[in-house]
Structure 1
């Protein structure tokens, strides 16, 4: 049957070919470089975000832009290194785009791995109810397995459980073998290679049997899931169609491989980071990840953020010069609209104490000029570099808070060495005697108490020690000989006495601590501090009366009670900024450290660390170095400023030589073509 067919026209609706109307004026909110990164199309993107260039702002707007463009928020995965930073970014995206941002999956690598393993892990034997071990629990399980395998009874001292956990963790996160980690970083335990391999296998088996996972396992197991279960990999990768990663330069090999597998179905990965600020190799992070991103994700587009919103151009000129000598890098040149500002200052001091007095005096001057104490920071490569300065600041009534590193004066090895000096200075010091005695092999708490009772009553305490027999006899005789030789040598200077104790204590240090190579550096620096004291009594008194305790010093600042300046390791200062920054101890051999001279990659990391320090300053930057510094471990006299300034024009600095006048610290300006 024939019918007349009447056409009915369907009107064209907005589809994928019609640009979606955006709710935000991105061009008005962002600079051209940021805008290009935020509005990038599909495919892999590497955003090289120079210091102070608005990295977080760019990521936040990228999240908002994806949602604004019609991407389902639940298909976006934001990976960060802290839960706080993920939440802050999503909150800021919510302020831009509304509540839709709440459906974005954001969190740390480990929290996301935990969620995915509980959902998909059964195919690799991971039950949803598995228990996560914290570091303490993991160490206890290692100790249990070690005991079960009889490894506590070896002739040579076996590593402690904390050290073993650190070795295992490094191997997992860097995707390197246990052999490589042990031989390269823990060579003093190389004799235990086979036993540690056996222990590692036993530890992994114990976790599997009990459905336990330590912190590293979360990423190890997720990588295994994505490798061994193609269905789970496709499901997860299809769910998270847009992956954004913050601080990509701080990722390790394991994290980079997980990202690659998560993106297997789409390659829509945007990573943001700065190769010039890759400074966490000691945690397992690798500079190579950000450099190899274009090879890992072929066709990646590279965006560069070079406009700096933090520092003045004179500071950025110096930063650019420092980093342009890097052996491997993404070329970029930081610039700012803040063209005016004082030149960075390079100050040479006759010694560490002169350096400390200059910093303290300059801070007082800046304060009078209106720079708040809270806008002042002193940065250093190693925590102990601020030891002398802390005492000087306390004397001047300048309150501070210290961040990063262990409290120098409270470290066990520093307390050990000082305790020996204290019992010589005061044979009635029962607390120090107890600490010293407990370091002697064969002396336990009860024996120490019994000896103490005799020592404090005796006119000849060293004879008491020499008369003891048994297992601890020889050790106590050695202690008596060391202390007696100090007590009878009034002509020995403070540094010589510290050195004398150091020679006695070094074998004990090696026996007591698995990481003794690092601890010897602290003791070398204690020796340097001691060189500034003519009398042991004054040295010990300063440490007791004005101890650099690594936290807020209990000193009130006149009229500004809540203000405290910041002392910080450079590692702890990354991401922060201050109006005025001092970088101390930039003497070559200390920064970069002599230990970094062996391997090129270590030296390059030190260069990046210096770059991070310089780029923390907004307006005032002071670089200081003491000269004629004797390095005990190498036997070298250090007097040259860091080699990272070798190629910097002297015109970029105001150079100061600190001169003593009338018993006070003064400085005179000079310009020269050499340092």
Structure 2
């Protein structure tokens, strides 16, 4: 059993209060980056270590398999691997599958994984034509909202109108009829959907006292993460789980309520003390994630109109660079600028997996996919949900197990060889689709192996496979190998060293459909969530027009008063004196503007004479290729073409001269100075 005092040693005073307050309901108002997961996992561990909790009687619930996996992983590290940490749906499904046969006389209906197909059939019969994929997606979202909000098909039209909800090209009455038809089709086929899992469990516990009593005897201690996101249906389930004197701890932040469209109601958190008069309210305000500059911006955005929801964060991460605010002429220019910013951070030694581009809607993604591909920056689009169930991941694990008998001493080399046999390459495939998704999965496994080898000196393939099996059991997926491209909604709960918030203009953020004060307030919270994902580097940008020059747009109202005075829009091409840096847009020979593509990578016009020795240039490029191949990274992660060319031109003779070249930096000099200087000396001798 872990030492209780040791469990508290790493906590700040507010976190310690969370970990040690028992006997009354507890609500933790946890600001972004304040260590809420640390606080609640240590609460569970401390409670179990002191006898306040029975490890087998704890149920910790959250909203995503990723978050549940992280909770289980941390509890395992703290010495309590058997504590239950699940999503609402996972916990409900487990209970329903166990109790349903005895209570209802038959097995729980199968959960269908073809919701879209059933919806397409239901919508087609009502509309008289095949609905577009976007319409189907909106219909599924609407019906999910209706279910978690306890809205039956017959009442949908009236209640949806009162809530200001709408589906493009489908009126509310038709949506209600499609909803009813969708339910009938599921019934005819003997299946239920994802949201029905909660409905079935609520009905089971409500109608069967013996089942409810047994569940309450099993789970006597409840901990609820992200409580600001609970829906009425989830709240009802939570109440059915609770005893008359609930041992309940909820954790959330009203300032991060960004899922109201899906039925989330932060009022359950903000009014917790009203429903539980004896409750203790504990506020976590110390932000350990971000720099002072990032935290200051987050506070100013959230509280721009007076004291806002949530807490005012107090930065603990020290000083860092100021957030960059950039106005672009067009969306394509904005994407190109972001790609160069990210390439610069990678050149300075930040791993691509520690960087992200966050946008409001999925439709913004293609511009950044194209810009990053053109710049040679690796990226990843897939979410981590269900990582270990992907076919390519399962096949790769089988192949790794088949290599056990012949594994060499170099763990990473062994894994790289096996994954190469499964289709992994040092460079990602161009474009998107299945090939790209397969590569991203295999690259994530390689990153996991590299991190494991670095943290466990001397470990072999057997130990790595044990770690993979445990991660699969607790659904703790590895990070991707490239820059993450994600919507702001999907980024909640994650963090990166550097974050680019893009498309921060009127009509996009806040979104054009956000009209009511409540909807606009949620859009502000969405920007706040995006800002607080950044640890150190933050880029905020917008485009004043579309690529065709139409729709002149203003920067988001949420930036009013929090950004520097407006600067003229900067195109992606051309440049002046202020741009002559490691991200220069001018030819290093003649000083003229560069075009996109190859010229940008070269740093000069193709027809301008080079000022370096061709043999030295080729030696440097070959060395870079070998170095990148050895560590399994794209070549630009060693040095970009522009930096390598600057080295070839400047021909420094010592480390100080090398450090003077933009794009080198201390970490790269420590790694590569000896090799580069030796190549330069060899080139000079040959010349």
Q: Verify same fold: TM over 0.5.
A: yes
Mark the CA change 1:668 to 1:657 in structure 2 (over 3 Å): closer, same or farther.
Answer: farther
Higher relative contact order (CA 8 A, sep 6+): 1
SS for the counterpart of 2:358 is: strand
Which position in structure 1 is the counterpart of 2:406? none
Which position in structure 2 is the counterpart of 1:172? 147
Which position in structure 2 is the counterpart of 1:663? 574
TM normalised by structure 2 equals 0.62
Q: For 1:641 and 1:116, locate their aligned partners in 2 and report how far apart those are by CA, in whole Å.
A: 49
Q: For 2:71 and 2:286, locate their aligned partners in 1 and report how far apart those are by CA, in whole Å.
A: 21
Q: For 1:318 and 1:83, locate their aligned partners in 2 and report how far apart those are by CA, in whole Å.
A: 31
Which position in structure 1 is the counterpart of 2:61? 79
Matched, 1:577 2:492: no
Residues 100, 108 of structure 2: 8 Å contact kept: no
Which position in structure 1 is the counterpart of 2:196? 217
Residues 382, 437 of structure 2: 8 Å contact kept: no
Matched, 1:358 2:337: yes
Which position in structure 2 is the counterpart of 1:17? none
Mark the CA change 1:96 to 1:152 in structure 2 (over 3 Å): closer, same or farther.
Answer: closer
Residues 4, 50 of structure 2: 8 Å contact kept: no
Report how far residue 374 of structure 1 moved.
3.2
Report how far residue 181 of structure 1 moved.
6.3
Report how far residue 631 of structure 1 moved.
11
Mark the CA change 1:88 to 1:649 in structure 2 (over 3 Å): closer, same or farther.
Answer: closer
Matched, 1:93 2:75: yes
Which position in structure 2 is the counterpart of 1:641? 555
Residues 499, 534 of structure 2: 8 Å contact kept: yes
Which position in structure 1 is the counterpart of 2:253? 274
Q: For 2:311 and 2:279, locate their aligned partners in 1 and report how far apart those are by CA, in whole Å.
A: 18
Residues 336, 572 of structure 2: 8 Å contact kept: no
SS for the counterpart of 1:89 is: helix
Q: What are the ranges of 5 or more consecutive residues in structure 2 without an aligned counterpart?
A: 385-428, 441-446, 451-479, 581-687
Report how far residue 205 of structure 1 moved.
5.6
**Residues 571-610 of structure 1 mapped to structure 2, 5 A cutoff:** 571-596=489-514, 598-610=515-527
Q: For 1:36 and 1:193, locate their aligned partners in 2 and report how far apart those are by CA, in whole Å.
A: 48
SS for the counterpart of 1:130 is: coil
Which position in structure 2 is the counterpart of 1:519? none
Residues 587, 625 of structure 1: 8 Å contact kept: yes
Which position in structure 2 is the counterpart of 1:113? 92
Report how far residue 258 of structure 1 moved.
1.0
Residues 383, 404 of structure 1: 8 Å contact kept: no
Q: How many residues align?
A: 489
Report how far residue 158 of structure 1 moved.
8.5
Report how far residue 345 of structure 1 moved.
1.3
Deviation by residue 1:613-659 (Cα, 9 ceiling, x = unmatched)? 11111111111111245999xx9531x22111224264xx9x76554
SS for the counterpart of 2:497 is: strand
SS for the counterpart of 2:507 is: coil
TM normalised by structure 1 equals 0.64
Residues 658, 665 of structure 1: 8 Å contact kept: no
SS for the counterpart of 2:552 is: strand
SS for the counterpart of 1:185 is: coil
**Residues 130-529 of structure 1 mapped to structure 2, 5 A cutoff:** 130-136=108-114, 152=125, 166-176=141-151, 177-180=155-158, 183=161, 184-186=165-167, 188-192=170-174, 195-196=177-178, 199=181, 202-203=184-185, 206=188, 210=190, 212-325=191-304, 330-403=309-382
Which position in structure 2 is the counterpart of 1:41? 22
Q: For 2:19 and 2:539, locate their aligned partners in 1 and report how far apart those are by CA, in whole Å.
A: 36
Mark the CA change 1:322 to 1:142 in structure 2 (over 3 Å): closer, same or farther.
Answer: closer
Mark the CA change 1:352 to 1:289 in structure 2 (over 3 Å): closer, same or farther.
Answer: same
Which position in structure 2 is the counterpart of 1:499? none
Report how far residue 180 of structure 1 moved.
4.3
Q: What are the ranges of 5 or more consecutive residues in structure 1 without an aligned counterpart?
A: 1-19, 406-544, 670-675
Instruction: State the superposition RMSD in angstroms.
Output: 4.0
SS for the counterpart of 1:186 is: coil
